Amino acid sequence: VYLGACLLMAVPLALHLALDASGLDRFLGWAGGFLIGAGLLLTYSRGAWLGAVLGALAYLWWTGRLRLATRPRTLGAWVAAGLLAVLLLAAGAARLRKTTSASDLGRLHLWASAWGMIRERPWLGTGPDNFEAALRRHKTKGFMRHTGITSGQSNAHNDLVQAAATTGLLGLAAYLWVLWAAARLVVGALADPARRAL
């Protein structure tokens, strides 16, 4: 999951190099994109797959390579169509895995357990990197029934739930502010034609 989260952030950069650069940078973009795609598939992280495809589509849309109302005419549009096809195939393969639904149900029980942490210490949370220790006290019956009495989990499998449980509502507010500030920077860059592609 962590590898997928890191790799998906490199997809737009690889696309930028592959489509807008020249020479060695272009080759590195295509080679890196191939390796990133292979790594993403091997993570079996549906969230990483979806994030990678959405990041690629957003990059191609904002750079004018993809228009939904017209036929794909550019290499970027064909890359987007290929990425979407890969995502659909990978999602179909994931549905065939028996552990997928069990993993999803386990996350719901995990989030219910995290809710106990948030209620106990709403303002400052349980402390950074203290999720697993706090989970011992807040496991719900459903979580124990699903994963076993002695099982643990080092994170909440959700950034917002993790922030709320470990750093409290103040930490969650700070995290949301960082996301908002980053979004403002992106929107500002998109408004500037010189910086739009990068």
| Residue 148 token pair | 């076993």
pLDDT band of residue 102 (cuts 50, 70, 90) is low
| Residue 191 token pair | 């408004």
The answer to which of 52-56, 65-69, 165-169 has the lowest mean pLDDT is 65-69
d(CA 36, CA 198): 18
Backbone phi and psi for residue 178, each to the nearest 5 degrees, phi listed first: -60, -45
Query: Residue 170 has what pLDDT?
Result: 97
| Residue 159 token pair | 């950034």
Task: Spell out the residues 6+ positions from residue 171 whose beta carbon is closer than 8 angstroms to its own.
Answer: 124, 125, 163, 164
d(CA 77, CA 73): 7
The rounded mean pLDDT for the chain is: 83
**What separation in angstroms does the CA of 48 have from each of 76, 114, 124, 134, 174?**
20, 23, 29, 27, 24
Query: Residue 105 has what pLDDT?
Result: 75
The answer to which of 6-10, 22-26, 167-171, 187-191 has the lowest mean pLDDT is 187-191
Closest CA to 158 of 111, 122, 124, 91: 111
